[in-house]
Amino acid sequence: AFEIEIAGTGQIVPVASGQSAATALAEAGIEVPLSCEQGICGTCLTTVLAGVPDHRDMYLSAAEQAANDCFTPCCSRARTPRLVIEI
């Protein structure tokens, strides 16, 4: 489990182990556009300002994943207790 902070509003959204980040955000009233929900299409790509994503997509290149500046909330998680994202 980890938490997501929404930059600007400071809203904190907890992501439980069994749910996706996109689902947790939707339950908190923050809709991320989704399509494949499998890390393939990139539709859900979201800017990351702080924290380290645990990339589980096949959309970003290894270099893009290593940049730690975006992630796919449909399938990816976090290596740090908190990710700060920009919606």
Q: Which residues form the interface with ligand FES (CB under 6 A)?
A: 34-37, 39-44, 57, 59, 72, 74
Task: Please tell me the number of Cα atoms within 13 Å of 55 on its side-chain side.
Answer: 21
Min dist. Cβ of residue 41 to ligand FES (A): 4
Taking CB atoms, the residue at the shortest distance from ligand FES is 74
Q: Which CB sits closer to ligand FES, 3 or 37?
A: 37
Q: Which CB sits closer to ligand FES, 74 or 85?
A: 74
Q: Which CB sits closer to ligand FES, 10 or 62?
A: 62
Strands (E), 1-87: 2-6, 12-15, 46-50, 53-54, 70-71, 77-78, 82-86
For residue 23, what are its two tokens? 């689902």
